[in-house]
Structure 1
């Protein structure tokens, strides 16, 4: 069964993720990629900002209205990021340990994909796909004046989701990210009680903190300490 990996801080793991056995989706504006956390504005065809924002639009506020529409499009999507294991085991990702694993003081959670999907059948996943790393300009969008703003935004997302939400510049390529997308403007909490298949702790985490983690895990769940050997991250299992 394929595995995915989610990196997090020690604090986030023991305060939120492990006690509730769930992962929270994020707004794109909270992502680290500047493409996503900066304001969006689109060029397009038939976009009548005056009718979309009748109480706000003027020549002076045109750019503001462009950005407002961009943020409404962005705000309709929730995301949850993992590291894939297409080419190598995701727990070996040094870049992710440094950044999201808080310089090896955090954790990496191993998720069984099939079980994850099974235990979250109540959630309407939109897409679950690998990020593509390439230089690509923002798409031009089409606005159908016969439809409502909500319908137009949904159509824009469905037509352009790959370029909008599943591409990053090549400088992020080492993340090996696979992303779960939901069309929802509120946070979702996705269950991992059955799909959590392993927990990895970083090189720099003190053994003093291990009991805090053990108390939140099923005794049968594999628990690993990573170590560094011959320029590669490896693991050994710790018996409890």
Structure 2
């Protein structure tokens, strides 16, 4: 992967954006909070392989089922998979800092901001980074109940409908330590971009917070509309004017 790649997190101004700077933390969410009902919810395959597995259980394994039926066993297995999946922490990022829809949907209608991180900013935390794959059509391969390989697990979290392709998404996955706030090293935050409709008061606050909390190296830019095009570009700001 290109080490110079920058990953972007779109945000609105406010308490949560401030805390990214104040605490050097980003929030890894559970997929249960996502707005796409298909996201991380690929269906499991039908019962063929599962039933074959149950037929091969030895006497000891069958005795452990107790009063449970094979159907109960199947439900328990699926329930456990769903529970474990919900614990995985996911940080969604984008490689595109000029996407008009992203600024509209995730940065308060272009009044918000966007944090740009070097792509390996969690490399020392055992966190996996994967590019999101978008389906070529409206179909996907079902996830097996049993014998689930690492690629199957990764696919559960990184395969999305082609309708989301405009997001150009990468995902950071914490498969071991669950969701929640996770610290990052300050040096990996490279730039902060402000929306074309961002308020000067909010811009000043963020720049000053960075100066006071170990982010003096960060570059600041403000989006502007390109005349004659449905396109954004950025102008670098002189932070000294805000200090």
TM-score by length of 2: 0.75
Query: C-alpha displacement at 1:13, in angstroms?
Result: 4.4
SS at 1:141's partner residue? coil
Retained in 1: the 8 A contact 2:223–2:232?
yes
Any residues of structure 2 matched to 1:8-157 within 5 Å, and which?
A: 8-36=11-39, 43-44=46-47, 45-46=49-50, 65=76, 68-84=79-95, 90-114=96-120, 116-117=121-122, 120-121=123-124, 123-126=125-128, 128-134=129-135, 135-143=138-146, 156=148
Deviating more after overlay: 4-13 vs 36-45 = 36-45
Distance 1:74 1:139, change over 3 A: same
1:209 aligns with 2:202: yes
Q: For residues 62 and 224 of structure 1, what CA distance do their matches in structure 2 show?
A: 56
1:223 aligns to what?
220
Deviation by residue 1:3-22 (Cα, 9 ceiling, x = unmatched): 11111121254442111122
Any residues of structure 2 matched to 1:226-237 within 5 Å, and which?
A: 226-229=223-226, 230-237=229-236
Distance 1:165 1:220, change over 3 A: closer
SS at 1:179's partner residue? strand
Retained in 2: the 8 A contact 1:138–1:163?
no
The structure with more radius of gyration: 2
SS at 1:215's partner residue? helix
Deviating more after overlay: 200-209 vs 178-187 = 178-187
Query: C-alpha displacement at 1:80, in angstroms?
Result: 0.9
Deviation by residue 1:210-234 (Cα, 9 ceiling, x = unmatched): 2221121134421111011122110
2:171 aligns to what?
179
Distance 1:227 1:139, change over 3 A: same
Q: For residues 66 and 103 of structure 2, what CA distance do their matches in structure 1 show?
A: 48
TM-score by length of 1: 0.76
Retained in 2: the 8 A contact 1:9–1:105?
yes
Task: Specify every segment of 5 or more residues in structure 1 that has no aligned partner in the other structure, as ranges.
Answer: 85-89, 145-155
Deviation by residue 1:44-101 (Cα, 9 ceiling, x = unmatched): 43276xx8x96996799899757624422422422111112xxxxx211112111111
